[in-house]
Structure formats: structure tokens, C-alpha cells
Structure 1
Amino acid sequence: MKKISTVAAKQSRNCSEQKLTIGLDLGDRSSWYCVLDEAGAVLLEQKLATTPKAMREGFGGMPRSRIALETGMHSPWVSRLLSELGHEVIVAHARSVRLIGESRRKDDRLDAQTLARLARIDPQLLCPVKHRSAKAQADLTLIRARAGLVRARTALVNTARGLAKSYGERLRGCNVRNMNPEKAEGLSPELQRALKPLLAAIVER
């Protein structure tokens, strides 16, 4: 991992003695963070894996700091984890952080530094948002998963119906709830061979 540092021990001492502001640019596999001191000088810039273990190792030993990150796929769990570690967490609305969003060239290191500088100057510039609680997110995830299942089943049923019609035949008396391989028994042999695996997949879902 790359560190902008001359003496690690001195950096650690500086971090523990100051009020720090951190910008965290989240990526799907890895993330980049930038640590600023009270005067706005860069103390540390480093990359780490976007996993709970790496986040705990990276931020668990730091003094209570202000950490800014953007909304995204990983921001709900990361923000909760950092809060549990005792940090002040600011979740910035990604669309509102124009200094980052309108950049022509994506640069994780500079994005992390920009987040840190905005959070240090005025957190309201980041248009902070509040994520749902873990329970609320779990409930919403269940609802979305069920909705996705319904959409998938409906798409498979519509595909089966369309393929049957392309042969001049029809799957009669069927819908998402009662579709099964037996519905293909009145169809031509070649169409039965094609549709039975698809209809079986609908039943499995």
C-alpha cells in the first residue's frame, strides 16, 4: 500500500495529537483515504480494501475523526461501521459534490482529498444525507429482493408466451402463479423441448 510519509512513527504521533479530517473515496474493491491535520495539511494518503476487516484495521486505531464519504453502494455499511468505531461520519450526496462529480478524469486520491477539504471547511457543502438504520435497510432489501423475483418470473412467463406465439401456438390458462412444465403438454414436440426447461425454472423461482 502506498503511503505519503517519511517517518511512520511521527505520523502516528501527529494523528493522535490532532483533530483529524478524513476524506474516504469508496471503490467497489478498494478505497482511498486522505487524512488532513487541523491546519489542512496532508498527513497521510493511503489505499485499503473495501471490506469490513480492512476498514476496522484502517480506522479502528485512529482518534475520533471527522470522516466524509459519498453516497454509493458501500456507503450504508461503511458509514455505520465508522460510526461504531467512534468517528463523526458525514455522508455526502454524490450528485451535490460537483467538485468531484464533474471531474473529467476520475482520480481516487484527489477525490478523497477533496472530500476531506470540503468536510474540514464546511460539512454543509457536502449536502449531508442520513442512511437508513441497519434494520430498515434489511427490511427494504427483503422487499426489493421479492420485487426482483416477481419481475424475473414475469419476464420468464412473457418469454414463454412469446416463443409459443412465434410458432402459432399458445400457452393457455397460465399466469405467473400457476405456470409449470405441464402447461407445455399441448404444444408441438419441438416447442415442448424448448419451453419445458424455462417453465421448470419459473417453478423453481
Structure 2
Amino acid sequence: MAMHYSVGLDVSLEKTAVCVLDEDGAIMLERTVVSHPDDIALLLSPFTDKIKRVGLEAGPLAPWLYGGLTDKGLPAFCIEVRQMKAFAKASPVKTDRRDARLIAQAMRTGLFKATHVKTEYSQRIRLLLRHRQSMVRRNKDLINTVRGSLKAFGIRTGGGKNTLYARRVREAIDDPMLLAMTEPLLKAFEDGLHTLARIDKMLLEIVKQDAVCRLLMTVPGVGPVTALTFRTAVDVVHRFDNSRLVAAVFGLTPRIHSSGEMEQIGRITKSGDTMVRAMLYEAANVMMTRCRADNWLKTWALGVARRRGARKAKVALARKLAVVLHRMWRDGTEFCMEKPMPILR
């Protein structure tokens, strides 16, 4: 009977610790190589035909290494970071070599949970979405800095999201020295708005060519950014057999602690993709507060708001939006304004 080997990779930015175990758990190879698919594949070449699994933690380099290793015919698996951290806590000693050994043991025994590695299309779009998110945060920080610093001189500027804010600040400052000190931040804010406009233009061009995004945008409150964020987060619609699992993966389901006769239901788990969770909450907020046309989702959410409060209603609506959007994508059907979808009855 042919011997099979299991491989663990502990990846860092420059170097990767590699551990190869046989079926009995004996160490066949422990080495450190450059964090590149070619170097790792070359090191594993003596075992290539007999490797059962190659495991690596999810991380910044994981998609690139995963794609490179699978292209070379290696059976690569990406593992949840939280699971490997739980394994590592069992030992008081932490080194890259030991972590690689733990990952190899998980591959050998099958005690691991593989994570989905996004397609190249989704990875590229996520890059643009992250850049947009960074620019939004940067502009928000600039506004807060200007507002906070000018309050010390009795100047109240209020908030703003466009070039009118910079104009209003300039008009409010009558001290030439203060204006000169504030002008660099205002200029940076205006430059950020121009950058955001260019990014938004690219996103709109992508949405126009993406049939899935156009379908998801038939839901009131779901705009181009939310549609693209959800589409790239799910990536492959058939990842989920049940649409309700989508809400759980994105951390929109409540924590449950059950022991004996006691059962406690807490706040949402907030696990998984932070960006898509935030965009679904924003879509829920838009639907409840800005959309004039009534639909069954809005009516349901407003009922929850009367009983439990607006904030909990928006979280509940975000959870239901995740389920509805996935079901629409899977079935290829547009949003129905009049009645609930069968899965939610």
C-alpha cells in the first residue's frame, strides 16, 4: 500500500516553515523556504505524487500561495485561523516550525475546517472595494480633525461629505493664520473626494457588466457598492446549500449559549466578513429610512422596530437581506415587492 504524506505550511511575509509527515505522524522533512509557490513546490517535489493534503492558514498571502500550489497539482487547503490558534494554545511553546507541525498534524488527521478561497475575479474587485473603504475612512478622519481642532477657537463647522464642506469651512474662518493652517487638510479632503469619484466610476463600470449585481440591485436600498461587496463576499453562489447559512457566515446571527435547561441568546456573533456585514446594515438603514415605496421587507422591519427598537430592527433586516440576496442570486429571480419569498414564510 502506497504511503501518503501530509504537509503543513506556516507562512510569513518572507519565509515559510514547511513540515512533511507520513501516515504514522513521523516527521519526514522540516525546512524553511522563501514564501513563493515555486520554492515550496520545488521543496516538496520528492513527495509530490504521494501528498494527500497541503495545509496553510488563511492570511494575506494565502490566496496567492493557494492558487500557485493548486496550479502545480498540489492538493492545497486553506484553514481557518481561529481553529489553528485553538490548537496552538495547547502548547506553551510557539515557533514557526511548531506551527507548521500542528498544521501538518491537522492535515494528517483531517481535524480541520477548510475555508473558501475566492476566485481571482472576486479578489480583484475586493481590492478596489478596500481601496474605496480606505479613502472613505481617510476623508472622515480629515473632517473630524478639522472640526475638532477648530472648536477650540469657537468655530463650529458641522459635518459634510462633499466639496461644499470645504467651502463652508473656508468661509467660517476669518483668521488668516488659522485658515493657512487648515488649508492643507481641506485640500487633502478635496483630493480624496476626486479619488473617490474615480473609484466609484470604476465600480459602476464593473456593475454595468455584472449581471449578478444588476439582479441584486432590484432590492430597494441595495446600491452598486453593496451589491458588489455581497457578490464578491459570497463569490460562488453554490458554496451554500441553504441560503440561511449566508447570514451565519457573515456574523449576523445571534450567539447562543445552551447548557442543560439554560439557554441564553446574545448579540450577533460579528464573525466573518466585516465589510459585507457593514454594507448590509447600511442597506437595511436605507430601506427603512429613505425608501419611500413600501415592500414586504420594509413592512416586516418596521414591525420589528416598533417592538424591539430601530437598531435591532436594522440588524434583523440586514440578516434577512443576506438570505434574500443569496436566494435571488441562486434562483436568478428579481426582488418581489408584494409578498415574501417562499424560503422566508
Q: TM-score, normalised by structure 1?
A: 0.79
- State the alpha-carbon separation in 2 of the partners of residues 185 and 193 from structure 1: 13
Q: Give the 3-state SS of the residue equivalent to 1:126 in structure 2.
A: coil
1:143 matched to 2:129? The reply is yes
In structure 1, what residue type is equivalent to 2:14?
R
Name 1:193's counterpart in structure 2.
180
- State the alpha-carbon separation in 1 of the partners of residues 184 and 167 from structure 2: 8
Q: Give the 3-state SS of the residue equivalent to 2:179 in structure 1.
A: helix
Name 1:59's counterpart in structure 2.
41
Correspondence for 1:33 among 18, 30, 34: 18
Name 1:19's counterpart in structure 2.
4
Deviation at 1:109? 0.4
Summarize the Cα distance change of 1:197–1:59 in structure 2 as closer, same or farther, 3 Å threshold.
same
In structure 1, what residue type is equivalent to 2:132?
R
- Superposition pairs of residues 52-201 of structure 1, within 5 angstroms: 52=36, 55-60=37-42, 62=45, 63-64=48-49, 65=51, 66-97=53-84, 98-122=86-110, 125-171=111-157, 175-178=160-163, 179-180=165-166, 183-184=169-170, 186-187=172-173, 188-201=175-188
TM-superposition CA deviations, 1:50-96 (whole Å, max 9, x none)? 2x3xx312314622432011122221221111111111011111212
Contact 2:19–2:100 (CA under 8 A) maintained in structure 1: yes
In structure 2, what residue type is equivalent to 1:22?
V
- State the alpha-carbon separation in 2 of the partners of residues 170 and 121 from structure 1: 63
- State the alpha-carbon separation in 2 of the partners of residues 78 and 137 from structure 1: 14
Summarize the Cα distance change of 1:166–1:26 in structure 2 as closer, same or farther, 3 Å threshold.
same
Residues matched between the structures, number: 183
Unaligned runs of 5+ in 1: 1-16
Deviation at 1:140? 1.7
Deviation at 1:46? 0.9
More helix by share: 2
- State the alpha-carbon separation in 2 of the partners of residues 90 and 191 from structure 1: 57
- State the alpha-carbon separation in 2 of the partners of residues 40 and 196 from structure 1: 65
Deviation at 1:185? 5.0
In structure 1, what residue type is equivalent to 2:29?
L
In structure 2, what residue type is equivalent to 1:49?
V
Q: TM-score, normalised by structure 2?
A: 0.49
What is the root-mean-square deviation in Å for CA atoms of aligned residues?
Answer: 2.3
Q: Give the 3-state SS of the residue equivalent to 2:56 in structure 1.
A: strand
- State the alpha-carbon separation in 1 of the partners of residues 90 and 67 from structure 2: 27
Unaligned runs of 5+ in 2: 193-345
Q: Give the 3-state SS of the residue equivalent to 2:143 in structure 1.
A: helix
Q: Give the 3-state SS of the residue equivalent to 1:87 in structure 2.
A: coil
In structure 1, what residue type is equivalent to 2:97?
R
Summarize the Cα distance change of 1:31–1:37 in structure 2 as closer, same or farther, 3 Å threshold.
same
- State the alpha-carbon separation in 1 of the partners of residues 167 and 6 from structure 2: 60
Q: Give the 3-state SS of the residue equivalent to 2:155 in structure 1.
A: coil
